[in-house]
């Protein structure tokens, strides 16, 4: 039996608006962890931006697995799993699902821009899931907004009380470091000539800080006291309850604040805990093995033409080769080929613990939201589907390829790339595809062409709102002009409206009908 890695886990995701610095921060986190892992960190690469070759070398030498889905690395005496959220500007359901696989989130905010639309949307999902959120104000090395103003914005826009752990010394663009509010000391940022060879942080006492940073230090100290007077000190229970957020100030690019973030994750972020079960109760982490699938992907690489399911281990120990049960069908599922890396180079995973992410190959039966388990049965609740806001009707261009079209649409539906809606009226030839963000359609079009060899034509439909209804009311609702009722592949009956005013008008004219908002709007 392979050795089990018993080190404690931290599993988190970074949520941010594009360009806030997520990739830069991710690289800095891994590189810093790597520097710490190496004896004699003085010659480390802490200040330098990682390159692809750094990553490859790291992966080989340290067994750090790097993939588009989950990145695992050791930091101090912990194992850290950083689950990636899709990076594109458009918003899709993938991100929501990823957030069901983590125990906490790091909200990355650009100091000059403050809270941006995608950050807000993602934050709402975190709030809904009760995920504790650590906030990092990034790009403090260049001109940006006032720190107190940014704190006000977080509190007023998302109702989360900021409890800064550090406070900037010097304004954005001319900052000297941060005041560590828990020790009262100064973490000084030292800009080095090459920027590449030395860790840029230096720890000073308050007295030394006054001598070093003068007025800036005094102002930071005053503001830090103001925060205390205003109830802005960290409190572990309100943080875990999702009511307050510890805040750090950083420059991912200059590697400043990166060590503090890793230490904060270890110290404050929750470890994997019991997972609620669909039937009530919860699966404890030390129970028999169980995991749930939060992402399914296919066709990433022509050499690996199979379907990959990414599962988060919820309880017990995963061992490669074990035969588990697929809760939805009751059938056995062999895990002979389980991987930690899902890019071109895959490496096998031997064991995995709660909080870890495993990639399962040949997972054709597994769908997003499915549970697999060993021993005592478990079934986790379905991951919610989200309220689509964009709708197209899709058909195959070459009618001779209809079979491939049908297979492709079914596959993409199961992967959760888009939602597929059908009705008798439209027939099977022209299903409606529904998405939270329009980029999901581009993915469908590209994959239908390259993977299923069934190019499609998509026509925009003038709907922007889907409400849940019941089969009994379908007839009444579809009697209104400009409104259509369709069934999603999970059986949910949806009424499609051009806008909310039309829905209100239907409600007024047919007061008894069920028209309910879907779980989460985009
Ligand atoms: P993303 O993944 O969130 O989309 O952001 P990414 O890391 O790609 O960063 C977006 C841009 O912001 C990059 O600049 C990056 O260098 C810059 N950036 C990230 N963190 C910091 C920071 O702490 N300070 C400063 N000043 N800039 C930061 P770019 O010009 O778009 O790309 P590049 O040419 O630098 O790679």
Instruction: Tell me how many domains the chain contains.
Output: 3
CB atoms within 10 A of CB 471: 10
Q: Is residue 320 part of a domain?
A: yes
pLDDT tens-digit profile of 314-347?
999 998 889 999 999 999 998 876 665 444 444 5
Do 63 and 199 lie in one domain? The reply is yes
On whether 85 is known to bind a ligand per the annotation, the reply is: yes
pLDDT tens-digit profile of 416-428?
888 999 999 999 8
Q: Is residue 72 part of a domain?
A: no
Do 337 and 216 lie in one domain? The reply is no
Do 219 and 138 lie in one domain? The reply is yes
Rounded to whole angstroms, how far apart are CA atoms 327 and 259? 41
Domain that holds residue 316: 275-373
* Top mean-pLDDT range of 24-38, 149-163, 308-322: 149-163
Amino acid 338: pLDDT: 65
Whether the predicted pLDDT of 91 surpasses 80: no
| Cβ of residue 26 lying under 6 Å from some atom of ligand 1 | no
Do 172 and 56 lie in one domain? The reply is yes
Do 48 and 166 lie in one domain? The reply is yes
Strands (E) located in 111-193: 133-138, 161-164, 166-169, 177-180, 186-189
On whether 332 is known to bind a ligand per the annotation, the reply is: no
Ligand 1 centroid distance, CA of 115 (Å): 17
Residue 344's contacts (CB-CB under 8 Å, 6 or more residues apart) are: 301, 303
437: domain CATH number is 3.30.70.3280
Ligand 1 centroid distance, CA of 39 (Å): 29
321: domain CATH number is 3.40.50.300
Do 364 and 414 lie in one domain? The reply is no
How far is CA 427 from its chain centroid? 36
| Cβ of residue 253 lying under 6 Å from some atom of ligand 1 | yes
Amino acid 60: pLDDT: 44
The angle formed by the CA atoms of residues 241, 244 and 249, to the nearest 5 degrees, is 135
Q: Is residue 104 part of a domain?
A: yes
Do 404 and 350 lie in one domain? The reply is no
Q: Is residue 385 part of a domain?
A: no
Nearest to 394 by CA among 377, 365, 419, 364: 419
Do 486 and 396 lie in one domain? The reply is yes
Do 126 and 227 lie in one domain? The reply is yes
Which band of pLDDT confidence, cut at 50, 70 and 90, is reported for residue 146? very high
Closest ligand 1 atom to Cα of 108:
3
Nearest to 165 by CA among 134, 139, 144, 140: 134
Question: Span 290-312, mean pLDDT?
Answer: 74
- HSE at residue 188, side-chain half, CA atoms within 13 A, is 17
Q: Is residue 416 part of a domain?
A: yes
Do 42 and 87 lie in one domain? The reply is yes
Do 470 and 512 lie in one domain? The reply is yes
Q: Is residue 253 part of a domain?
A: yes
Nearest to 366 by CA among 289, 285, 306, 418: 306
On whether 88 is known to bind a ligand per the annotation, the reply is: yes
Do 46 and 171 lie in one domain? The reply is yes
């Amino acid at each position: 039996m392979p050795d089990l890695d018993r080190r404690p886990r931290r599993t988190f995701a970074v949520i941010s608006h594009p360009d806030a610095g997520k990739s830069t921060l991710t690289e800095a986190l891994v590189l810093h962890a790597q520097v710490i892992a190496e004896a004699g960190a003085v010659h480390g690469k802490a200040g330098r931006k990682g390159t692809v070759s750094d990553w490859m070398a790291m992966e080989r030498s340290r067994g750090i697995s790097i993939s588009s889905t989950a990145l695992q690395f050791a930091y101090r005496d912990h194992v850290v799993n950083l689950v990636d959220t899709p990076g594109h500007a458009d918003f899709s359901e993938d991100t929501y699902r990823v957030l069901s696989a983590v125990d906490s989130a790091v909200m990355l905010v650009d100091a000059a821009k403050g809270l941006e639309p995608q950050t807000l949307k993602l934050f709402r999902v975190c709030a809904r899931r009760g995920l504790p959120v650590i906030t990092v104000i990034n790009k403090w090395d260049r001109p940006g907004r006032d720190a107190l103003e940014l704190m006000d914005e977080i509190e007023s826009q998302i109702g989360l009380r900021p409890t800064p752990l550090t406070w900037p010394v010097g304004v954005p663009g001319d900052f000297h470091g941060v005041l560590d509010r828990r020790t009262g000391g100064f973490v000084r940022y030292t800009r080095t000539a090459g920027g590449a060879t030395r860790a840029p942080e230096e720890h000073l006492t308050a007295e030394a800080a006054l001598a070093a940073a003068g007025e800036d230090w005094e102002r930071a100290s005053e503001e830090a006291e103001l925060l205390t007077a205003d109830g802005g000190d960290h409190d572990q229970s309100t943080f875990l309850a999702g009511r307050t957020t510890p805040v750090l100030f950083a420059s991912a690019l200059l590697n400043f604040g990166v060590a503090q973030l890793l230490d904060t994750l270890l110290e404050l972020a929750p470890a994997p805990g019991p997972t609620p079960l669909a039937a009530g109760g919860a699966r404890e982490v030390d129970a028999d093995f169980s995991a749930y699938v939060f992402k399914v992907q296919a066709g990433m690489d022509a050499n690996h033409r199979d379907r990959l399911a990414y599962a988060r281990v919820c309880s017990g120990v995963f061992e490669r080769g074990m035969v588990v049960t697929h809760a939805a069908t009751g059938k056995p599922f062999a895990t002979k080929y389980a991987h930690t890396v899902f890019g071109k180079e895959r490496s096998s995973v031997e064991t995995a613990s709660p909080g870890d992410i495993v990639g399962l190959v040949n997972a054709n039966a597994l769908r997003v939201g499915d549970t697999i388990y060993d021993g005592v049965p478990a079934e986790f609740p379905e991951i919610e589907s989200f309220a689509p806001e964009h709708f197209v009707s899709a058909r195959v261009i070459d009618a001779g390829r209809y079979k491939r079209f049908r297979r492709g649409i079914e596959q993409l539906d199961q992967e959760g790339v888009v939602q597929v809606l059908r009705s008798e009226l439209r027939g099977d030839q022209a299903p409606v595809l529904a998405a939270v963000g329009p980029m999901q359609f581009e993915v469908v079009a590209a994959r239908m062409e390259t993977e299923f060899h069934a190019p499609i034509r998509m026509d925009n439909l003038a709907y922007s709102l889907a409400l849940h209804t019941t089969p009994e009311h379908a007839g009444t609702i579809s009697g209104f002009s400009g409104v259509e009722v369709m069934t999603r592949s999970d059986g949910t009956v949806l009424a499609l409206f051009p806008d909310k005013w039309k829905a209100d008008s239907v409600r007024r004219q047919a007061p008894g009908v069920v028209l309910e908002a879907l779980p989460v709007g985009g």
